[in-house]
Structure 1
Amino acid sequence: MPTRRALLIASSYGGLQGPPNDANMMKSTLEPFGFMITKCCDANATRDGILQALKRLAAEISIDDSVVVYYSGHGGIVESPLLEGQVTEGTNTTSPWRYQFLVPVDYHMSTPTDFRGILDIELSMILRSMTETIKNVTVILDCCHASRMVREPGLGDLAVSRSVPAVRWHDITKLASVLESSEYRPKGIYDEENSPFVCLAAAAATETAWEYRNSGGRWCGAMTEALARVLSDCRGHLISWRASLFRISELIKITFPNQRPYLTGKVDRHHFSLSESLTDGFHILNEVDAAVIQAGSISGVLAGNTYSIMNHGARTANTREQLAEAHVMEATSFRAVVHLKFSQPGITRLPDGGAIAFLKESVLPKWPVEIPPGIPWLEALVLGSRFIKLQESKDSGFTFATFHLQSNVIALHTKHGVEVTTTPVDGSQEGRLNLQRAVEQLARAQHLQGLKNDIEEEYLHHKTLIEFGILENSFSRRMIRDDGTDSLVENSYTFIRLTNGGSETVYITIFNINAVGKISRVSRIYGVELPQGRSEVILKRKNPPTGIQITWPNGVSRANPLEETLLFILTASAVDLCHLATPVQHPPPHRLGFSGLEKLTWCIASGCSRNANAVDDESILRYSTHRIVFNIMPDST
């Protein structure tokens, strides 16, 4: 009889406090799915202990079993100094230049001849041997490999990254060469195209994943907490990993806008199943009072989205054969009620067997906020917003901002506890509008901080060096690290230095995002034009040299440091992104040649929907982003 087995590995190396809690959280999440749980935690999570636990699992499985391998702890990365020995044939790298690894509790015992980490290819070898017996394998890794040991600035000591400092290339070459020369030569666990299993990772190779103390006071991995919520909500429903990634990412970004989970392998499989979703569309049916898409917010079907309705059998949408256009009026976790506008005269109803809904226009997810009970105008303010929503039970523990009632005054606080603004409960309409503007500005800033290009065809590969430093007496005093660990004192004068080491001109638009969500453009309207080999220093004034002053936000308490972000948007051609710094209430202008970046940033600025169809080749604007996060310390003088 088929058995569901889960191996939960938790390594608290380096002072992490969350892994044991993560393992318990996953145990509670997976047991209702029928999984038999085996733990490898604490002192047992050594290199040998983890490998032996994996091998025992591989020996126990039978052909129809399903397996979950879960890891919580630190990750690490090692790269060859000069990409030495790398040979690329098509998409296959015959000699890897980068290895990622897991960090067991005895990692500190590594020597030049005895590496105590577990390489990705080593783990992949065991997992792929499992898939020779069974096909239903899911791997979940709540760690990161970004070679950073940092604290998230806005949360201080309440958040820690899950990576260890980089190791030297020669430390792992002996182990790697043995594995690479084996008869069964594995590919890395993150091999996207040919992986026989599902792999969900907390972040991409060069990005950061976080553990933090959650609203219940317990340390946990940000991804594990979000994943546990989504899996529990989805139990009993056929939801693919690809679809549920939207909701997992949405929950993570409420607290960590820069962390993005990473999914590879059999991404269209339903949770812990071999069955798959065979289309990018969703089933839509006639019900008693309305047509209903048989998917909801878990899968990214949000109120405000628009869908093209096609007959069964369609693989994509096309205007000529479209049955109707559906606008989502209301969405729960798994259902979305729509208003239909039929495309052909005389048709007033969908086919009895239903149809397929393909995304046409999308809105950004709304951030959940808490409000005190019994204040109708405040509830109406939230319900009428394009950017925020009332926190529901499915959002509990994931709060973007809070409205507190204090002595007949409504105070808006960020997720970090910073008081942004206040207004009397029985105050003027203008006071209420100011409150709405403040919370919606916070929401825009949160979306902007998470801006990242995930579309390879539109990605700008560049070699631009971005530096940020403090200026004193017209000279550079020190550089600010870009890993989120650095700080400066309020009213410091700063400069930005940009150097283009690539072969093509880049344009760089720079924004400053402060602790209360104010977005200020630092660069010129169309960005800084930086041809090949050029360098430019950004100052407030160049003669005499005067830096850009970093000031404390008006009206904000100086009791604690504040988080601030510099966001750099690098593009292959000049583009006007000024709308990001000036809140707008209308959709973008209708014109030809509107790029994906412009659509997305207008969506962030206005809260309006954007066309989800692919951009034509002539409208592609290649871009990428870079951010420097730092703390502002109050001036004690």
Structure 2
Amino acid sequence: MASQGRQSKWALLIGINRYNNYIVPDLSGCLEDVDLMAAYLERLVGISNITKLTSPSTLRTQASSSARLPTYNNVVAALEELATKTQKDDFVYIHFSGHGTQLPTKFPQLNSNSQDECLVLVREDLSGNKGPVDHLRDVEFAYLLKQIANKGAIITIVMDCCHSGGACRDMSLGQNNEPSITRGVESLPEDALVARSPIRKLSDLEPFRTNHTAGSFRGASVVPHWLTSFQGVEFLAACRANQKAQEIESGDRAYRGLLTACLLSVLQDHSTHPKPLTCGMIFNLVSSRVASHPKLTSQQDVVFGGERRRVFFGTGRNAPNKTIITRITHLANKKFQIELSAGKAHGVIKTDVYAIYHPDRTFTSLMDYNSPSAVCQISQVEDFVSTALAENSVADVGVNWKAVRQSEILRKQVLARRPAKLLLPDARDVEVHLSMEALEKLVHECALIRLDDSKPFFRISSQGFDRFKISFTANVGCFESEATVEVQSQAALLSHLRHLSIYYNLLDLATASGCNGRLSVEKHGYLPHGVEIPDPCPYDPSDPPYIDGLESLAINSDPQDIQEGETICIQVRNKSLKTMFIEIIDLDPSWEAMRVYPIEGNAPIDLLPGAATIFFLEMSRSLSVPDTVQPSQIDSIIVLATTNGRENFPMKILPTLSSTPKWHGSPLTEIENTRGATGRDSAQWYAQRVDVRVLRSLD
């Protein structure tokens, strides 16, 4: 038992080479993962409370006792023992090397995905003929972890397996009947599994429902996950759902998990770093090494969930890294080389663009990022520092000047907190007043909302206990309009404030981007109802294309009036000297935000310097939202151009606002970005806006 008032550290290491099953192939490197990880934890992290559950490899002769096999009962018992022994501020490290899989859910009331992610475990008796395997489902694992987190302990989990196992389709044995070198199995038939009941009844597991958030990710990703559905758990997983977790040969026919090998190499290389490495740093560095590993045979994007500032092997947090200039070198041809205090560990990649500001510059609004003193582009990246090149405009800047990644400015704009003011009721109404006090605490804790008595965007008033009205003035088209939204709970209020903040931040993208003539967006006519809508039409501006059925707009107005069912045509022209990638976002009056282009599954739309493309958007009337006064019936179409070569937004950015909170995650494909080396980021971005008022059809 840990002594009162003193932090203890614990580790549970699970490695499974041998499954002895007729479908699940044996592995080779999982015991090696456990042995090397245990040695590191004991020697450099100071963890002596280490429990190992291993299944012996077919290449090893020694046998584990049944008490130390990674069976369902032993894994559950080990986790329950941690829940009993840990205390507040203790640290727990859990490492799993083995197979992962997906199985049809046993909890359809909890899991909208219809599949449970599972760790594949071994049966109680591995001797004799091949037999069934056991498993631990995601909601069961989450339940067990929550018992540890409830004690106030912090948990870091590394899963060197396919964390959503349907990804691994190559289940055949290798040459000469050797074990598989990928970790994951397809959904297993019932007769391949040990039959058993769930760990707890449905009502006990209900708080651990597995809400999966869809998104289009490139490279290493930060994602919402069932492991991070509650506080106190940070996790690193080997790959995305449609990829394979690979084993690599490390000499003398010994294998290791690629994720574990790269993790240990990062930890050993930076064991003397002056500050403890955070989860975000580890994620970025490991992602980079996995992506560039010479033995990598297919794309394997490391996945992270949790709090990126949390220390990887502890409970503390590091302050956010502030990137500054550490050295400036004058080169030939009026060029300068700039060294920055950020590298791969902080998500920097080659070709990132940084804006440079005076050390005294403060950033209280997006407009404060305008007019940087200089701009530089990253040319070389090391683990903790990077080098950039700049033109002669950098001559007036110096060491310790601030550097801000331009793509971060886009992210800050979309996720900017809008000030809210609570209009407190009469103090004599005690019931309502107590509700508002509780609300004030919640609003302060909400990551995207801040309270501000001066010039609030949202005004919140009480309509009775746990009933609130949000009032605000929306700038839509060329005029301002008052809007109200009534909600029935504090949870709905916070969800709506976050939803509306992001919606109006998206609406303001065009105002904040400062195109400087690099992006031209014009209305190009319309297609009548019933005319077939063509694909986007790229062309040389000196030779405009013929579009069948195209009609001229009778009145070119702002907002543009158009009949329901008609298709507005928008011409987008790239006037910059770089290839731009185009996204078009439709902001509906029901507070829904959708990415219209590129269409799901299609390649990013590139626009060469000087080229143009015509896009076609069929317009429909907006839905009315109950319990609201909507500001207008105007659709705002945002044309976003970036130089990153991928989409910045998923197809469904925000759902229609409703009385039920529907916040399920990321409005950006890399929210709270801690990218790995394969994740390409936005170097520059420009936006323009077209407002359209959809009129009822005359038919």
TM-score normalised by length of structure 1: 0.51
Structure 1 residues 315 and 356, CA gap change in structure 2 (3 angstroms)? farther
Whether the aligned pair in 1 keeps the contact of 2:644 and 2:681 (CA below 8 Å) is: no
Q: For 1:181, what is the secondary structure of its paired residue?
A: helix
Tell me the equivalent position of 1:78.
103
- Contact 1:85/1:95 (<8 A) preserved: no
Cα pair 2:284 2:346 within 8 Å, conserved? yes
User: Cα distance, 1:302 vs. partner?
Assistant: 4.1
Asked whether the 8 Å contact 1:322–1:343 carries over to 2, the reply is no
Deviations 1:135-188 (CA, angstroms, capped at 9, x unpaired)? 421011111132446269999968622123313589799734844322774344
Matches within 5 A, 1:427-446: none
**Does 2:381 correspond to 1:335?**
no
Unaligned regions of 5+ residues in structure 1, if any?
88-92, 362-456, 458-503, 509-569, 580-586, 602-606, 620-637
- The answer as to 2:372 corresponding to 1:322 is yes
Which whole-Å CA distance do the structure 2 matches of 1:259 and 1:240 have between them? 22
Q: Is the 8 A contact 2:182 2:245 kept in 1?
A: yes
Kept after mapping to 2: 8 A contact 1:316/1:358: no
Compared with structure 1, are the counterparts of its residues 121 and 574 closer, same or farther at alpha carbon in structure 2 (3 Å cutoff)? closer
CA distance in 2, matches of 1:507, 1:34: 61
* Residues 64-103 of structure 1 aligned to structure 2 (within 5 Å): 64-80=89-105, 97-103=114-120
Of the three residues 10, 13, 20, the one matched with 1:5 is 10
Would you say the 8 A contact 1:149–1:160 is kept in 2?
no
One of 381, 386, 397 as aligned partner of 1:348: 397
What is residue 38 of structure 1 aligned with on the other side? 51
Partner of 1:146: 165
Aligned to 1:390: none
Q: For residues 449-498 of structure 1, what are the alpha-carbon distances to aligned partners after superposition, in whole Å with 9 as ceiling and x for unaligned?
A: xxxxxxxx9xxxxxxxxxxxxxxxxxxxxxxxxxxxxxxxxxxxxxxxxx
Amino acid at match of 1:59: T
User: What secondary structure sits across from 1:52 in the alignment?
Assistant: helix
Tell me the equivalent position of 1:301: 348
CA distance, structure 1, for counterparts of residue 99 and residue 72 of structure 2? 13
Partner Cα separation in structure 2 for residue 298 and residue 9 of structure 1: 28
Instruction: State the alpha-carbon separation in 2 of the partners of residues 615 and 244 from structure 1.
Output: 32
Letter in 2 for 1:61: T
Q: CA RMSD in A?
A: 4.7
Counterpart Cα distance in 2 of 1:300 and 1:216? 35
8 Å CA contact 1:328–1:337 kept in 2: the answer is: yes
Partner of 2:304: 263
Of residues 208, 211, 224, the one that matches 1:186 is 208
Contact kept, 8 Å, 1:78 with 1:100, in 2: the verdict is yes
Higher relative contact order (CA 8 A, sep 6+): 2
For residues 58 and 307 of structure 1, do their structure 2 counterparts lie closer, same or farther at Cα, with a shift above 3 Å needed?
A: same
1:325 maps to amino acid: V
SS in structure 1 opposite 2:121? Answer: coil
Determine if contact 1:124/1:186 at 8 Å carries over to the other structure: yes
Partner of 1:161, secondary structure, is coil
Query: Aligned runs of 1:10-21 on 2, under 5 Å?
Result: 10-12=15-17, 13=19, 14-21=25-32
- 2:186 aligns with 165
Kept in 2, the 8 Å contact 1:152–1:160? The answer is: no
- Structure 2 gap ranges (5+): 1-5, 20-24, 56-63, 127-131, 211-224, 330-336, 409-502, 504-531, 537-597, 613-638, 648-677, 691-699
Q: Is the CA contact 2:15–2:98 (under 8 Å) kept in the aligned structure 1?
A: yes
1:245 aligns with 2:283: yes
Cα distance, 1:153–1:41 mapped onto 2, change above 3 Å: closer
1:308-457 to structure 2, matched below 5 A, reads: 308-310=355-357, 314=363, 319-320=369-370, 322-339=372-389, 347-350=396-399, 352=400, 354-360=401-407
SS at 1:259 equivalent: coil
Once the two structures are aligned, what percentage of the paired residues are identical?
A: 19
State the alpha-carbon separation in 2 of the partners of residues 182 and 108 from structure 1. 30
CA distance in 1, matches of 2:386, 2:148: 39
Matched, 1:227 2:232: no
Q: Computing the radius of gyration over CA atoms, which structure comes out larger, 1 or 2?
A: 2
Contact 1:74 1:103 in 2 (8 A): yes
Is the Cα–Cα contact under 8 Å of residues 506 and 572 in structure 1 kept in the other structure?
no
Q: Partner residue of 1:450?
A: none
**Alpha-carbon separation, structure 1, partners of 2:133 and 2:601:** 46
Contact 1:269 1:275 in 2 (8 A): yes
Report SS of the residue matched to 2:165.
coil
Q: Any conservation in 2 of the 1:6–1:67 contact (CA below 8 Å)? A: yes
Describe the SS at the equivalent of 2:92. strand
Q: In structure 2, how many angstroms separate the alpha carbons of the residues matched to 1:597 and 1:193?
A: 34
The 1:238–1:177 alpha-carbon spacing in structure 2 relative to 1, beyond 3 Å, is: closer
Aligned partner letter, 1:612 = A
After superposition, the Cα gap between the structure-2 partners of 1:216 and 1:134, relative to the gap in structure 1 and judged at 3 Å, is farther
